[in-house]
Amino acid sequence: MNEKVPYAGVERRIASPSSSLLIGDSRKVYNIAEVEKALGELSASANDGQRTLYEKMLRRGASRSLVRHSNTDCLHPLYDSCPNFSSVLDELTRSLALSVLGRGEPFQFTPLLLLGEPGIGKTHFARELSKVLCTQFEFVSMNSLTAGWVLTGSSAQWKNSGPGRVAKALVHGEYANPLFLIDEIDKVPSEAQYDPMAGLYTLLEESTARTFIDEFLEIPMNTEYASWVATANKINTIPSPILSRMSVHIVPTPTKDQSRGIGYNLYKEIIGKHDWGFQSEPSEAVLEKLAAKPPRDMKQILRAAFGTATLDKRDYLIPKDLDVDARIIKAPMGFYPNM
């Protein structure tokens, strides 16, 4: 099916990677009249960044694309690529089925908390989920946050102030329903000047998310269509009010067979993207050794192994190619980056 380029408020149909029909229209994420009023009330000495952002909001208009789905097929590939997330996918599939039943209602699900050991693919899963849902992905690492304004913006009266990540995503982005990953929500720095989680109390509650106010913009924004996924290794440091707003899933470490499947899929994915001339299938010995590696590191290990084999003038991998120092392939954002 050919893609039709939409105008604001006009429905479009595009084909997804899984050949599932996607239906997208638009939703208003802020009120133009309120932006015009705020811009008109700015004094001559007002924050230049605030003025510039208001002007951009007026130029872009208030509507952003809203991707909707006509069936649940888009989630099916994740059962193979992220097999240890089957319980999470079951919940998402049920929610998506209700969206489809409602004649293409926007896909919304209870914010997810993915709880499990480091390196099992939690961040990767969230990133892949955004891909199959065909929406933008916003990564926020709580481990590096020192104040709540990173999410919710800081007052325009402060020096070097600006909008938060949520407002930026809706103002500069293309979608009304981006997917936010709050990574390592259990590792908020204890020296934070202001509570980095403060904004989540509003953003994770559907009724208050409709009128979320970024401190820099000072204009209500509709964030109710945004999707939220959080990751954590431990649950005891997460405030109870946050937990009460989330669906908690304990993600197990992949079994040996699941790890083999993950490694095999990654091998096929990499050689499918590049014309390197390597064998189409990994050997059993290579797959066995790869399955013993943390899922987070597999992709970078494989890429390094392909480079080693190339230097050795081989079009196939051997187990020794996978002997890469873990210190140089460790991914700071969890799992592996896109390649």
Compute the distance between CA of residue 240 and CA of residue 62 in angstroms, rounded to an integer: 35
Judged against a pLDDT cut of 90, whether residue 192 lies above it is answered with no
pLDDT at 296: 85
| CB proximity list for 35: less than 8 A, separation 6 or greater | 54, 57, 58, 62, 219
* Cα dihedral across residues 258, 262, 267, 272: positive or negative: positive
Compute the distance between CA of residue 256 and CA of residue 315 in angstroms, rounded to an integer: 27
Q: Annotate 46-113 with three-state secondary structure.
A: CCHHHHHHHHHHHHHCCEEEEEEECCCHHHHHHHHHCHHHHHHHHHHHHHHHHHHHCCCCCCCCCCEE
Domain boundaries, the chain: 12-250, 256-329
Judged against a pLDDT cut of 50, whether residue 4 lies above it is answered with no
* Cα dihedral across residues 118, 122, 123, 125: positive or negative: positive
Structure tokens that stand for 72 in this block: 């649940």
Q: Which residue matches tokens 């066995």?
A: 288
Judge contact between 28 and 37, C-beta under 8 A.
no
User: pLDDT tens, 30-72?
Assistant: 999 999 999 999 988 888 889 999 999 999 999 999 888 889 9
When mean pLDDT is compared across 57-66, 83-92, 322-331, the lowest value belongs to 322-331
Q: What angle do CA 53, 49, 159 make, to 5 degrees?
A: 145
User: pLDDT tens, 279-293?
Assistant: 999 999 999 999 999
When pLDDT is cut at 50, 70 and 90, the band that residue 158 belongs to is confident
CATH level 2 (architecture), domain 256-329: Orthogonal Bundle (1.10)
One-letter amino acid of 301: I
User: pLDDT tens, 221-233?
Assistant: 999 999 999 999 9
Tell me yes or no: is domain 12-250 CATH 3.40.50.300: yes
Q: What is this structure's pTM?
A: 0.83
When pLDDT is cut at 50, 70 and 90, the band that residue 20 belongs to is low
| CB proximity list for 50: less than 8 A, separation 6 or greater | 42, 156, 216, 217
Of residues 97 and 7, more confidence is placed in: 97
When pLDDT is cut at 50, 70 and 90, the band that residue 141 belongs to is confident
- Return the closest-CA partner of residue 133 out of 178, 171, 181: 178
Structure tokens that stand for 273 in this block: 């993207």
